[in-house]
């Protein structure tokens, strides 16, 4: 499904964000990427859907070499990959239902886009997506009237409506309280199991990563220093991933 082979990402200023990344993620896996701030977690995630270009190596997603895609090919790749951000990226002045409907716009004829006309089937699928994340009762409420956790669920529903095979989540629970964060992580877990959907999540909350993901990838200074089952991650392994600075990372000091 996702395969990095000797991937390097070097920025114009010479900074190497990813160094010799070799990683294979199979269909239906739930993978948490952990590591210090600036270790390369977000960069790795954003290379998958071509938000960042790799500098060298090979990156294959759904049997396609990502670096060789152009124009419409990139847009097609991204249609099969849902992306969820910490900031939710919702339109606050419209309802949850209309936010989910936005996911259909890229594939609509121009006249429907201009008139804002969605098909009956699209409306049904939008409501089903909201129902899948247990927020159907908020379908016709404006997003700016929802809590942070409810907004994140709307963002997840919008992603589900586009029927991706992969969901990438970049710090999706960073701004949520602990209870709400667990609820959102449970949503990811259920979707992963029920739909056999690949989920790759970049997360600071180590406890949540170990509780909900089945596999953990630890990154330090742009290199993978651990890749294995979540239930085998020990204090020694965490110390190695975080270079002895886990407490500082969690407290923000």
- State pLDDT tens for residues 163-220: 899 999 999 998 889 999 999 999 999 999 999 999 999 999 999 999 999 999 999 9
Q: What is the pairing mode between strands 2-10 and 16-25?
A: antiparallel
Give the orientation angle of helix 148-161 with respect to helix 178-195, to 10 degrees: 20
Contacts of 180 (CB under 8 A, 6+ apart): 147, 148, 149, 152, 173
Q: Is 26 exposed, middle or buried (0-12, 13-18, 19+ CB in 10 A)?
A: exposed
Q: What is the pTM of this model?
A: 0.89
Residues 49 and 170: their CA atoms lie apart, in Å, by 12
Domains of the chain with bracketed CATH = 1-80+212-253 (3.40.50.300)
Q: What is the pairing mode between strands 223-229 and 215-220?
A: antiparallel
pLDDT per residue as tens digits for the range 146-179: 998 899 999 999 999 988 999 999 999 988 899 9
157 token code pair: 């529903």
């Amino acid at each position: 499904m996702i395969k990095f082979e000797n991937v390097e990402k070097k920025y114009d200023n010479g900074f190497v964000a990813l160094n010799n990344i070799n990683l294979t993620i199979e269909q239906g896996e739930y993978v948490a990427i952990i590591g210090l701030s600036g270790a390369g977690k977000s960069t790795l995630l954003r290379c998958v859907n071509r938000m960042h270009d790799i500098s060298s190596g090979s990156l294959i997603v759904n049997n396609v070499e990502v670096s060789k895609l152009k124009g419409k090919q990139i847009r097609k790749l991204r249609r099969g990959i849902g992306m969820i951000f910490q900031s939710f990226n919702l339109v606050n002045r419209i309802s949850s239902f209309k936010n989910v409907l936005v996911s259909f716009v890229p594939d609509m004829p121009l006249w429907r886009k201009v008139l804002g006309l969605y098909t009956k089937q699209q409306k049904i699928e939008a409501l089903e997506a909201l129902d899948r994340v247990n927020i159907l009762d908020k379908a016709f409420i404006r997003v700016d009237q929802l809590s942070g956790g409810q907004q994140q669920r709307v963002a997840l529903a919008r992603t589900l409506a586009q029927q991706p095979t992969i969901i990438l989540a970049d710090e999706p629970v960073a701004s949520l309280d602990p209870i709400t964060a667990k609820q959102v992580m449970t949503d990811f877990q259920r979707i992963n199991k029920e739909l056999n959907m690949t989920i790759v999540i970049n997360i600071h909350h180590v406890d949540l990563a170990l509780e909900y993901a089945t596999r953990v990838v630890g990154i330090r200074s742009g290199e993978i220093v651990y890749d294995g089952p979540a239930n085998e991650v020990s204090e020694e392994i965490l110390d190695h991933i975080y270079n002895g600075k886990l407490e500082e990372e969690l407290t923000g000091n």
